[in-house]
Structure 1
Amino acid sequence: MPEHAPHQPVERQLPTEEARDLFVLVRELVKREVTPRAAEEEDAGRFPREVFSLLSESGLLGLPYDAEFDGGDQPYEVYLQVLEELAAARLTVGLGVSVHSLACHALAGYGTKEQQAEFLPAMLGGGLLGGYCLSEPSSGSDAASLRTKAERDGDHWVLTGTKAWITHGGVADFYTVLARTGGEGAKGISAFLVPGDAEGLSAAVPERKMGLKGSPTAQLHFDGVRIPDARRIGEEGQGFAIALSALDSGRLGIAACAIGVAQAALDEAVAYAAERRQFGRPIADFQGLRFMLADMATQIEAGRALYLEAARLRDAGRPFSRQAAMAKLFCTDTAMRVTTDAVQVLGGYGYTLDFPVERLMREAKVLQIVEGTNQIQRMVIARHLIGPESR
């Protein structure tokens, strides 16, 4: 199978010398450990757990979190560009890091100091890998209608129900789980930190997906899983607010991954257009194709600028929910459009398994769905503009 086209490193907007050194490490790790095996392992559906272990050892699984708990103390502006770099090499890895960060968010943002000191160091730098459990078979976009229950039993909680579409389902070491502890609606939901080996917790056979075949996505069954109250995160009934806060940040992670996928597809298309000859000259000489490549590059740059602006708002402690929804919407739509055009540039070859653009196109599709579908993003943006819908 052909290797990736020669990658022209994106000129990164890095605020410190430490961040620039970090990118030297990231690019060397990607070149050595991720890119060479990406196509083969995705085709085989192999989950690269050893890569995540290496990322943890290198300090790359906890980049946006406090150094006090073995995090990287990096601003989101830097963390997201690392995600983009990882996703350009293999989306299973980039998306996996984003999901892990999402799973750490509740404890880092809402846990007690005692909880953070006990659990966060292993989660951020101790080789553990996390999953995030919000969606259920009958509640996806309508997350507030989730049915998984957590019932108090003395100083423990007993969790019963099923979560669906869980990235790292069955392979994660811990899960942040949203469960119903009270009445109907958003106010009856609480958050829990559940060990991956908890008694009564089991994973179904992973879903058979169009893309991201190396990343296991599975239902999780909670059959009377007992969790001490010390693993409840935040106050009772605060879980949905915690979930929404995490999703704002998670959407930026998906936006960065999408731009990584799109950049990889553009690199492949440009390299192919320069080498492929028709009618006695490289197809890159034809204006129609040159304009297509120019549009692809412009959309990628616009998406990157959008997610970075949202990240800078977050880093400054300012509201960024609207910009996060915009970034997720625009960047993932861009990834779908750019990868589709990349297949077109390669023509028949682009439709074969011998070139990576068909895989990139299949992977781009899921990014329009996860962390809130793009229809949900439009609803979020509209609410910021004109308020909620009248009933």
Structure 2
Amino acid sequence: MAVAIAALLGMSADITVQAASKTATPSKSAASVTKSKNSSSSSVKASTSSVKETIPDASLVSSTTVDEELPYHIEKGYVYTSSKLTKKAGSAKDFAKVTWYIEKKAVIDRSSQGAGNSVWYYVKSGSGTQSGWIWQGNLEPISEGVFDIAMKNSDYFKGLNVISMGDSITKGYDGYETLNNMGYPTWLSRYLDTDVLNAGYNGAFLCDGGEEETEGDLTPTVNAHNFKNYDVATIAYGTNDYGHVSNSLSDIQETLKQNIQKMKSDNKKLIIYGILPITRYDSNTNSDDIIGKGGFTMNELRNAEAEVYKEFDIPYLDWRKDTTQLITDSNHEYRLYDERLHPSAKTYQLMGREIAQFMIKNFPKDQIKTTKKTTSSSTKKTTTTTSKASSSITTTSTKK
């Protein structure tokens, strides 16, 4: 433009460009004014952006307490701090590794926020340190979807097939019904990030159950499986032998020995873990030192099982030495859902966590693989399966 004007005025282009160059540099005072204007403009914008739109409160229509707290994880959406649904505690990504237990179910009216009535849950984390409100459609059972809570060194179990054998506490019975994919084997599959077959059976015995024997007793369960197909096995029987039959401790020990020998003959490299029985509270009384139907106390039964595991150099989990005190005289009424023997859903998670930690800690060092641990999340909907035998049991038995 400046060149065109110069041409019309008969001036040289060089002079004109030089002049244009000079006028492009503002004076100090002009620059100061410009800076002041820009500063004022920024200030106005900041002031405008700081004014946030107020979200009207939602209204709580009704609320009911959930009978049993079951475990979920948040698949998407947000966790809100209150039923007003105006402040977010965080997103699904923020709580990706948190297990939520539903405590209340509520109907909330969001018409003030441009929506109608919907069902929301008041939830607490397994540790009890976090809580909030989540829309029902954003919660998913822990046995489904991507929920990566694999423990450190869980890669020891990568690609290994695990079978969990036991009675109703392995099966996932809470004293009233069998919880679907919420027993400790499901948690093992999550914490160890591997496949776990739940071969637990309600009412099963370690030794011969006599008239009360089941197809889920230790011997028929071991005979029904070829352990060449498994890399790891857990054994958790005994409480029904204490409370319902008259077999001696030597009978129980001999049966346990024979079955371990059969398992080892199937697979010499099979990794076996023993899990001793948890404390019972028949008639609201700690059974550890009370003589049961078999003529021995629960502590004597545990000691007898432990002797066999020691003989075969098998690591075993003894709940009496549990530093976290999973079940005690002071907490059994809420840790055991029937207040007597069978854990609640939340306690099953705690059991699964401790058993997984024990298994990792006692994994044979000569079988640890040197491959690097992967960090990708598993996309399997569930990593726990149920054996055909264990799925046929009814849930009406009062035995473990």
TM range, normalised to the smaller chain? Answer: under 0.3
Q: Which has the larger radius of gyration?
A: 2
Pick the structure with more helix per residue: 1
- Relative to the length of structure 1, the TM-score reads 0.24
TM-score w.r.t. the length of structure 2 is 0.24
